Structure 1
Amino acid sequence: MLKKRLMAFALSLITATAPALALDLSAMSDEERTQFGAEVRAYLMENPQVIMEAVNALEERQAEVQAQADVDLVSRNAEAIFNDGFSYVGGNPDGDITLVEFMDYRCGFCKRAFGEVEKLLAADDNIRFVVKEFPILGEQSLLASRFAIATKLEEGPDAYKAMHDALMSYNGDITIPALRRLADTFGLNTDQIEARMEADEVTQELMATRALAQRLQISGTPTFVLDDEMLRGFLPMDQLQMIVDEKRG
């Protein structure tokens, strides 16, 4: 991969400095290609810093392209991201900016991000926070999400928030008995919650969120959407706050 990047850089350098030159490697003789390769190698050996400059420039361009593609994806899917009608909304529901998180209860980085997001919401009371249940790490993840969504449907958003927080802090195996014990600590109706886990509306919510994630090209957790930007991966509270401040202008 690096070799291809460097050759592409060499070609762009030569064509940029000599635009009138019609450079067609396929039209070169074997001797001409050998000479050309030797000249490129000699240039890079004499100017080794060009290697990292070329790679860094390529990575910056790729990041810019990805960022713009993400903005376009968010714009095309804004209603489903920010106002799907079923995802939990916390923080300040009337906040001036919305932070959306696609999360999995078995994801270690999601657990790290949980504390950072909680600190952000405590420090900034004008952020609307939306949770997207996106279980992608196996059956235990799916079990946890079904129980959390069933709790929301059966007991309401406050009970969901309590279960969500408990699951984000929980590090054991996720089983029905473990989920029931967690729910019991909040005085919830565990029988009704368990009975509702396989309900169509639970399945439909999970399927809708998965379809949205596919459209947004989200393959890992945590993934955040902040205003018009996607933030792929864990970010500490101070970086999240900085981005929030930038979005506010």
Structure 2
Amino acid sequence: MTHLTFRPLRPLALIAALTLGGAAQAEEIDFGNMSPEQEAAFGAKVRDYLMTNPQVIMEAVALLEQQEAQQQAAADDALVETNAEALFNDGYSWVGGNPEGDITIVEFMDYRCGYCRKAFPEVEELIKTDGNIRLIVKEFPILGEASLVSSKFAIATQIVAGDEAYEQVHNALMALEGGPGKPVLTRLATTLGLDADAILAEMDSDEVQRRIADTRALAQRMQINGTPSFVMGGEMLRGYVPLDGMRQIVEQARAEQ
């Protein structure tokens, strides 16, 4: 993925660039070696200009925000590239949608996360209506014990009963009201025709714990500390994105292939 890049300016230089007529002239000023008289004169000139043209402050802030966004995007691209194997081919994360899709979406999610639940039907709609997207779900329980229990139950289901059963449990847990206590999980598994005892026994296995630990380590490397977080067509998205926004990102990713 490509992004425009800008050479970063310090905040003071941003103001100077706009008040003195351009970035080049501003960078010629040695702000670190100005005499007290020069500093006073410069400060007075900048103040007078800003009082006459207050919109310049907003222009400088907007430019700084643009630069920071471009730098963050470039850093995120590097993180995706460095961690591509763990993101896209870890060998255990559930894969849905079209396994041969031309666009891959990776979602780091938590069953107790309100925005994950809000995104859930929209991601489903995107996958269904597009038909050419590969979805990878990363179990990333970060919101307490209930989150951890839910993820352990989902992963244990996948190990014991396979991917189709995992999908059913995943969908049910995203809609579950109340806590995921043992009676609730037993009833859920039984309702879906699964072996509740086998799944509950698997929840504290070394393999379940390893998968959760590996995903947490990946999230730390990716500097992900909230849910939902997505890698969508190679682009990092930190937080909830509405359906229309996801469609635009997918369309842009296809155009760049």
Same fold flag (TM > 0.5) = yes
The 8 Å contact of residues 98 and 127 in structure 1, kept in 2 or not, is answered as yes
Distance 1:35 1:247 in 2: 50
Instruction: State yes or no: 1:97 paired with 2:98.
Output: no
Deviation at 1:163, TM superposition (A): 0.7
User: Is it true that 1:134 corresponds to 2:140 in the alignment?
Assistant: yes
Distance (Å, rounded) in 2 between the aligned partners of 1:20 and 1:186: 67
Identify unmatched segments of 5+ residues in structure 1. none
Following the alignment from structure 1 to structure 2, what is the Cα–Cα distance between the partners of residues 60 and 142?
Answer: 37
Cα distance, 1:11 vs structure 2: 3.6
Q: After superposition, what is the alpha-carbon deviation per residue over 1:110-143, rounded to whole angstroms, capped at 9, x for unaligned?
A: 0001011010011011111100000011111111
Asked whether 1:220 is paired with 2:219, we answer no
| Equivalent in the alignment of 2:15 | 10
Retained in 1: the 8 A contact 2:15–2:57? no
Instruction: Work out the CA distance in 2 between the residues paired with 1:149 and 1:58.
Output: 43
- Quick one: distance in 1 between partners of 2:88 and 2:95? 9
Alignment match, 1:58: 64
Aligned CA RMSD, in angstroms, stands at 1.9
| One-letter amino acid of the counterpart of residue 179, structure 1 | L
- Which position in structure 2 is the counterpart of 1:84? 90
Question: Residue in 2 aligned with 1:171?
Answer: 177
1:188 and 2:194 are equivalent in the alignment: yes
Instruction: Read off the aligned partner of 1:71 and give its amino acid letter.
Output: D
Q: Contact 1:25 / 1:33 at 8 angstroms: preserved in 2?
A: no
Q: Against the structure 1 CA distance between its residues 32 and 139, is the aligned structure 2 distance closer, same or farther, given a 3 Å change threshold?
A: same
> In the alignment, is the contact (CA less than 8 A) between 2:189 and 2:196 conserved in 1?
yes
Q: How far apart, in 2, do the equivalents of 1:133 and 1:156 lie?
A: 16
The equivalent residue for 1:23 is 30
What is the SS of the residue equivalent to 1:154?
Answer: helix
Q: 1:19 to 1:114 in 2, by over 3 A?
A: closer
1:48 corresponds to:
54
| Identity value in percent | 55
Give, as a single letter, the amino acid of the residue that structure 1 aligns with 2:14.
F
Q: Cα offset for 1:25?
A: 4.8
Secondary structure of 1:94's aligned partner: coil
Aligned mates of 1:37, 1:19 — CA distance in 2: 14
**TM-score (ref. length: structure 1):** 0.92
TM-score for both structures, normalised by structure 2: 0.89
Amino acid at match of 1:148: A
Distance 1:62 1:16 in 2: 17
String of CA shifts for 1:202-229, please: whole Å, max 9, x gaps.
Answer: 0110011111111111111101111221
Counterpart Cα distance in 1 of 2:181 and 2:54: 56
- Is 1:154 the counterpart of 2:160 in the alignment? yes
Structure 2 residue ranges without an equivalent (≥5): 1-9
CA deviation after TM superposition for structure 1 residue 19, in Å = 6.0
Report the alpha carbon displacement of residue 36 of structure 1 after superposing the two structures with TM.
2.5
2:11/2:64 contact within 8 Å kept: no
Which of 31, 41, 45 is the aligned partner of 1:35?
41
Choose the corresponding residue for 1:238, options 224, 234, 244: 244
